[in-house]
Structure 1
Amino acid sequence: MNIKQQSFRTIWPVADGQAVDIQAVEVIDQTSLPHEFRIVRITTLQAMIHAIRTMQVRGAPLIGASAAYGMALASKASAEDAALAAAAQALLASRPTAVNLRWAVQRMLQHLLALPVQERRDAAWQEAAVICDEDVALNKAIAAHGLGLLRAIAVTRQSAGVLNILTHCNAGWLATVDWGTALAPVYAAHEAGMQVHVWVDETRPRNQGASLTAWELGQHGVPHTVITDNAGGHLMQHGQVDVVIVGADRVSGAGDVCNKIGTYLKALAAHDNQVPFYVAVPSPTIDWQIVDAQRDITIEERDADEVGFMQGRLDNGELARVSLLPEGSAVANPAFDVTPARLVTGIITERGVCSPAQLVALFEQPVNG
């Protein structure tokens, strides 16, 4: 997608130093946005794990792609069975909720262990690149199917003019290799000439909506307005939201959706106001092994400082981190919640749009139980 009219992906391989072959990976440091556009070079497995844990890279599809390159980086040190297995375990422990990480690591490990040791290093870089290209293709397909959905909603709604879409957290191109999931249909609609406007939840405590979604929409020229996390229901009550589209970190085969904390409340408000609520995900985000999403999905509990402190730019241009809470206040910081399938109007995938109940049939894959 575009940054100051220049096309970027969120992650790409590069040569490092005097090396002529690929030795490193570069990523957009999302902890620096929106105030600084910074590219970070990653040369080791541990540096990639750090990038995932600290959310320099984030979003389920991008975490998967980053983990794939993490395996490639690990192969630089050793491509023996034990070393690759240890690298896989270290990556799997970096963040527990997004299923794409597990999917990518298992795919890389299975692919590499089937090869002779001397072939694994080159094969690791090649397979990671394939995973990234596949992610872009999946998201483009989501964009196409989602565009058809937005056109249909624009036709059936009562009012003419701008189509108002509400989204939560960041499920744009910054959360993937390119295009995004929830925002992919928005970009497709914008480029097709549709009048669209996005309500952007700020998404406390890390403000991925205010800092990332607003930034990337602005870079691409899509009209948008940042709102507080608690404003969405009010806007729905007053007819100012035509559709809600969110991404997900994990979706069960039954259509339950694990996404950024606060998604469940948006789904409840949408249901109460008859606003359609859609989830956009590529198939690697679907976990066919999940039976009970609320019971079986590990919800990441992140550091209390994310709630207690906030970073921003001062009037003099300097960045500062300020304290928000009274000293001694306890903090709980669950990063995700689960929205039950009964509140989800439909799921936008690379194969099309379906109801939660139709998801298994769409992918012709049974749910384990």
Structure 2
Amino acid sequence: MTFTDAAMDFDRYDRIRPIRWQGDHLALLDQRKLPFVVEDVACADSDAVARAIHDLVVRGAPAIGISAAWGAVLAGKGVQAANGAEALERLAPALDRLQAARPTAVNLMWALARIRRVMAAAGADWREVLEREARAIETEDLAANRRMGALGAALIAPGSGVLTHCNTGSLATAGFGTALGVIRAGVAGGRIARVYASETRPWLQGARLTAWELLQDGIPATLIADGAAAHLMKGGAVQWVIVGADRICANGDTANKIGTYSHAIAARHHGAKVMVVAPSSTVDMATPAGEGIEIEMRDPAELLSVAGTRTVAEGVQAWNPVFDVTPAGLIDAIVTEKGVVERPDAARMAALFGPGSAA
């Protein structure tokens, strides 16, 4: 079997669907309860979707955008309007609440911008147009993930070890995953021999979600503490750090889960490479550099407890940014469904995505 043939064997590594439209409600796999409880949250209206996004029932930039699109469909229930423009005016408050649920993930804004655009041009069939666009956003994401899996895996030498941070798999997307999709394709193609997942404090997405996903697919993985990554790289076990993104700027600076920047610094010092994998909807050509990204701050209590049990003395303060920004100079390749940008900078990004406007 050639690498291309193996990389295209997606069904074996594509078993999880975290977002399921049920016709009258949206079923979201509750990622806060994994891996021990597999349970859905049923969202019957757009505000329930906004709460689910904010409360991390659903997480991962592509999955957030897809969920928000279906939230817009739910917002249209019960709205009476002669055309899409009229309906859009009445939907505006609900769409604004969805957009405010998570400020850093550009996919959220991108998906709702698509919804607004098609609604503004829709006629009396605006409900069908709205649902069709939400479905398209979901289906396009799955196709993009499979394309990125093949493109990213092709960059990896056979027998390599890889480290991934946070969760970038089926749980964070429509299916297959971004960075984890590359790992799935790389394992299928014989490129990847060892997979390491960092635990990803404070929500432990690597420990709870990535390790669980890989287990479902029969891919052996080793969990490490976030702080063990540099020591692991020093021993030569890791050739690539493969991560996702919540926003990629025009110069290639990338916002991702807190801890990504540290891994990238360690990788550069120890001769490992860094690959960022994300759909083109995550590329924000309207933001020139990482300094322009709003970094979401979450409740400090998330750092002061584990699973609801306080682990820190009363009176201790905490600082809890959810993301950090990895400078483009530490990134070896940005992989999107549109192609690969190696050694990203403003010129190389503009060559693929066009200057000055979101992809």
Q: If the length of structure 2 is used for normalisation, what is the TM-score?
A: 0.91
How far does residue 2 in structure 1 lie from its aligned partner after superposition? 8.2
Question: Structure 1 residues 278, 7: CA separation in 2 closer, same or farther (over 3 Å shift)?
Answer: closer
Residue equivalent to 1:112: 119
Residue of structure 2 aligned with 1:124, choices 99, 107, 130: 130
- Take 1:132 and 1:114, find their aligned partners in 2: how far apart are those partners? 21
Is 1:353 the counterpart of 2:354? The answer is no
Is 1:134 the counterpart of 2:140? The answer is yes
Residue equivalent to 2:106: 99
Whether contact under 8 Å (2:162, 2:192) holds in the other structure is no
Whether contact under 8 Å (2:50, 2:71) holds in the other structure is yes
Between 1:120-129 and 1:278-287, the stretch displaced more is: 120-129
Residue equivalent to 1:298: 294
Deviations 1:287-323 (CA, angstroms, capped at 9, x unpaired): 01002312x1110000112111112xxxxxxxxx311
Residue equivalent to 1:10: 18
Is 1:171 the counterpart of 2:168? The answer is yes
Q: Secondary structure at the match of 2:24?
A: strand
Question: Structure 1 residues 275, 195: CA separation in 2 closer, same or farther (over 3 Å shift)?
Answer: closer
Is 1:84 the counterpart of 2:91? The answer is yes
How far does residue 195 in structure 1 lie from its aligned partner after superposition? 4.8
How far does residue 85 in structure 1 lie from its aligned partner after superposition? 1.6
Deviations 1:129-153 (CA, angstroms, capped at 9, x unpaired): 1100000011111011012112xx2
2:120 partner amino acid: L
Deviations 1:87-112 (CA, angstroms, capped at 9, x unpaired): 22111111000000000001101111
1:148 partner amino acid: A
Residue of structure 1 aligned with 2:322, choices 330, 335, 339: 335
Where do 5+ consecutive residues of structure 2 fail to align?
Answer: 1-9, 82-86
Residue equivalent to 1:41: 42
Q: How many residues align?
A: 340
Alignment map for 1:146-295 (pairs within 5 Å)? 146-150=152-156, 153-154=157-158, 162-294=159-291
1:254 partner amino acid: N
How far does residue 6 in structure 1 lie from its aligned partner after superposition? 9.0
Deviations 1:175-223 (CA, angstroms, capped at 9, x unpaired): 1010111011111122234453211110001000001100101111111
Question: Structure 1 residues 241, 261: CA separation in 2 closer, same or farther (over 3 Å shift)?
Answer: same
- Take 2:187 and 2:136, find their aligned partners in 1: how far apart are those partners? 28
Q: If the length of structure 1 is used for normalisation, what is the TM-score?
A: 0.88
Identity of aligned residues (%): 42
Residue equivalent to 1:158: none
Whether contact under 8 Å (1:250, 1:259) holds in the other structure is yes
2:96 partner amino acid: Q
Residue equivalent to 2:58: 57
- Take 1:359 and 1:173, find their aligned partners in 2: how far apart are those partners? 26
- Take 1:85 and 1:165, find their aligned partners in 2: how far apart are those partners? 44
- Take 2:273 and 2:131, find their aligned partners in 1: how far apart are those partners? 41
